[in-house]
Amino acid sequence: MPGRLDGRAGIITGGASGIGLACARRFIAEGARVMLADRNAELLNEVAQEFGANCAVSVVDVTDEADVERMVQSTIDTFGRIDHAINSAAWATYSTIVDHDMAEFRAVVDTCLTGVMLCVKHEARAMRDQGEGGAIVNIASINARLAAEGLAAYCCSKAGVEMLTRIAAIELGEFGIRVAGIGPGFVDTPLTAFSRVLPVIRDAYIASTPLGRVGAPEDIADAALFLVSDDGRWVSGDTLFVDGASMQKGYPEITKIASS
């Protein structure tokens, strides 16, 4: 049986771990070739060995436009085309607004929002020039809509990603380029590893999720596959929240829980 992404090639940022790596596994299983991009060169090269000739790697800082442009060009040079992209690179810091270190605030915004904008800019240029359309998926978060104390930089960045996705879909539709988002709930990734050290916090996230479990990176990868494949051919401009219905209950009060 042919895969849903046979003959296609794409980029996945944040591809060395977590959601990005799960997307790579899912896409390659469906016939795609993938440029895995991450700033962690050692981990990137380690995981790439799993995929053989179906994968190439690009060490990239998504906040550096020259790096992003080079990543896109490397994908074209390696695979001859770009059909889809998953913009997944992100990180977060925890601080109240009144005590927030501004260098940390800017670093989170630069990675989570500016980095996505730069990736969309150059991925979309390549797809437009290719003349065959394409699909871009930006990884947002339930925090695009749910406020969380201590996460001002992250929440504001992810809210920006959702709006950027909507605007990009309007601007790029005429070129046959679809732009959609995914808003994960609490998912087991390196970004949420702190919850394994503090089980009370992990329990709070599970309690706020009606489906009763933490998400897996594969849950998000399955949604991403739908959006970049022909199955999602009429979806653009929307953000799909994959969260076990946690947005319907609100965000746990982490500060109070951790200090109790």
Q: Which of 158, 205, 208, 229 is catalytic?
A: 158
Rg of the chain taking only CA atoms, in angstroms:
18
Which candidate, 52, 46, 48, 55, places its Cα nearest to that of 74?
55
pLDDT digit string, tens, across residues 94-119? 999 999 999 999 999 999 999 999 99
Find out whether 87 and 122 touch, Cβ atoms under 8 Å. no
Domain spanning 9-259 has what CATH number?
3.40.50.720
Residue 195 pLDDT exceeds 80:
no
Q: What is the pTM of this model?
A: 0.96
d(CA 126, CA 75): 10
d(CA 17, CA 215): 15
Q: Which of 17, 58, 88, 154 is catalytic?
A: 154
Q: Which of 141, 157, 229, 236 is catalytic?
A: 141
d(CA 145, CA 159): 6
pLDDT given for residue 260 in this prediction: 65
Task: Pick the range with the lowest mean pLDDT from 7-11, 140-144, 183-187, 196-200.
Answer: 196-200
pLDDT given for residue 254 in this prediction: 77
The reply to whether 158 belongs to the active site is yes
Residue 148 pLDDT exceeds 70:
yes
Domain regions of the chain by residue span: 9-259
The reply to whether 205 belongs to the active site is no
Q: What is the 3-state secondary structure (H, E, C) of 113-166?
A: HHHHHHHHHHHHHHHHHHCCCEEEEEECCHHHCCCCCCEHHHHHHHHHHHHHHH
Find out whether 92 and 63 touch, Cβ atoms under 8 Å. no
pLDDT given for residue 122 in this prediction: 98
- Length of the chain in terms of residues written: 260
Residue 82 pLDDT grade (very low, low, confident, very high; cuts 50, 70, 90): very high
DSSP secondary structure string, 17-32? SHHHHHHHHHHHHTT-
Which candidate, 241, 254, 249, places its Cα nearest to that of 142?
241
